């Protein structure tokens, strides 16, 4: 059966134990995919996806609305695999959730209905961290350290699960639910990038304490070998496997696990892999719509746009509807870094 096949092939992953404020909990195939029909998982495994995209999200109405907006806009582009097209395409998009305190640390009835409709939500057997700080959806703000650690856990588990479950896939991404991706250009560009050593995104830094450069968490892509290198760094795995405690704050920050995007870069830095090709995106292509130093107006050069207001998903779909079939942008190789032209 599929259960036996997957559990046997990835025994180490599916018995991997992580933890949070409620204690250690095993993460396994049955838990993470328990609301996805077996036939759907079998279809995923049979497809030859170029990339699988993971988006950590939250089981609350505001975030549910964001998932709906992405599904009805940018995930409608050709090339995106979804239930409506029997998961056929170059890019599969999955949402990654944990149990939220507002739902009593159970998955809500609304979430279960959502999974039944779309078959695209991974439901981890871990709890979201409690946040006492406001973070506006589609805007700026800060999570509590406990909530940040929860996001780092979800991101780590996403990459480990994706690498194990999708054995034929060469690229893995992490994104946000308040972003818009112009998929035709993204896929055209991905197809001309290296198949190995790839680390692609908006590169920022240096970030203390190791003065590392990292791809901003709105959207970054790793080739399979780079994802495996990230996952091989044992101190990160060990720290994320411990129950959350405010007494470990200095340890969290010492390894940058308090920010999921920096966590990935820090692990790659510590492993000291010689196989790393940065694709450093220009702000004309990957940018924010409203905030930060990479704020830009949407244009026909835009590929990734971050911090959208709700009405802007449909505005961008309409704006980009006149763009023609995309071919890969030309790029330069500057000091070992690839930079696409605008």
* CATH code of the domain containing 148: 3.90.550.10
Question: Residue 265 in 3-state DSSP?
Answer: helix
Give the angle subtended at the CA of 144 by the CAs of 140 and 146, to the nearest 5°: 140
* Residue of 173, 211, 192, 212 whose CA lies nearest to 51: 173
Residue 178 lies in a domain: yes
| pLDDT computed for residue 10 by the predictor | 36
- Domain range enclosing 134: 29-340
| pLDDT computed for residue 109 by the predictor | 97
Residue 103 lies in a domain: yes
| pLDDT computed for residue 150 by the predictor | 86
| pLDDT computed for residue 272 by the predictor | 86
Q: DSSP secondary-structure letter at 141?
A: B
Mean pLDDT taken over the chain:
88
Q: What percent of the chain has pLDDT over 90?
A: 72
Residue 13 lies in a domain: no
Residue 2 lies in a domain: no
Q: DSSP secondary-structure letter at 246?
A: G
Query: Domain count of the chain?
Result: 1
Alpha-carbon gap, residue 340 to 330, rounded angstroms: 6
Alpha carbon of residue 341 to chain centroid: 25
* Residue of 315, 267, 263, 266 whose CA lies nearest to 289: 315
For the entire predicted model, the pTM comes to 0.90
Q: Which distant-in-sequence residues (6+ apart) come within 8 Å of 157 by Cβ?
A: 16, 18, 27, 32, 96, 124, 126
Residue 18 lies in a domain: no
Residue 7 lies in a domain: no
Cβ(267)–Cβ(230) below 8 Å: yes
Q: Residue 326 is encoded by which pair of tokens?
A: 């995309």
Residue 284 lies in a domain: yes
| pLDDT computed for residue 136 by the predictor | 54
Residue 10 lies in a domain: no
Alpha-carbon gap, residue 89 to 74, rounded angstroms: 14
Enumerate the H helices of 33-182 as residue ranges.
Answer: 38-46, 61-71, 109-118, 145-165
Question: Residue 148 in 3-state DSSP?
Answer: helix
Those residues of the chain that have pLDDT short of 50 are: 1-26
Cβ(138)–Cβ(307) below 8 Å: yes
| pLDDT computed for residue 78 by the predictor | 96
* Residue of 131, 179, 174 whose CA lies nearest to 155: 174
| pLDDT computed for residue 282 by the predictor | 94
């Amino acid at each position: 059966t599929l259960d036996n096949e997957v559990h046997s092939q990835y025994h180490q992953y599916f018995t991997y134990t992580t933890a949070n404020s409620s204690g250690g909990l095993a993460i396994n195939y049955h838990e993470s995919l328990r609301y996805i029909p077996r036939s759907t998982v079998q279809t995923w495994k049979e497809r030859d996806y170029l990339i699988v995209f993971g988006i950590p999200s939250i089981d609350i109405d505001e975030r549910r609305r964001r998932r709906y907006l992405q599904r009805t806009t940018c995930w409608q582009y050709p090339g995106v695999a979804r239930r409506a097209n029997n998961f056929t395409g170059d890019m599969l998009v999955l949402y990654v959730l944990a149990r939220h305190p507002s739902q009593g640390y159970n998955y809500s009835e609304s979430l279960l209905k959502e999974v039944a409709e779309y078959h695209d939500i991974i439901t981890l057997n871990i709890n979201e961290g409690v946040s006492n700080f406001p973070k506006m959806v589609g805007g700026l703000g800060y999570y509590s350290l406990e909530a940040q650690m929860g996001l780092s856990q979800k991101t780590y588990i996403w990459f480990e699960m994706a690498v194990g479950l999708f054995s034929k896939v060469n690229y893995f991404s992490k994104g946000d639910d308040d972003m818009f991706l112009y998929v035709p250009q993204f896929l055209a560009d991905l197809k001309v990038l290296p198949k190995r050593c790839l680390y692609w995104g908006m590169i920022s830094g240096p970030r203390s304490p190791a003065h590392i450069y990292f791809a901003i968490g709105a959207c970054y892509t790793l080739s399979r070998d780079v994802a495996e290198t990230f996952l091989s760094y044992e101190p990160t795995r060990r720290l994320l496997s411990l129950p959350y405690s405010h007494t470990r704050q200095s340890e969290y920050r010492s390894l940058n696990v308090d920010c999921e995007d920096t966590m990935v870069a820090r692990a790659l830095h510590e492993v000291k892999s010689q196989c790393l090709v940065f694709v450093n995106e220009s702000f004309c292509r990957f940018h924010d719509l409203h905030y930060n130093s990479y704020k830009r107006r949407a244009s026909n050069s835009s590929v990734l746009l971050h911090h959208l207001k709700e009405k802007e998903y449909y505005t961008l779909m309409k704006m980009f509807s006149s763009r023609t079939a995309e071919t890969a942008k030309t790029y330069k190789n500057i000091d070992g870094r690839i930079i696409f032209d605008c």
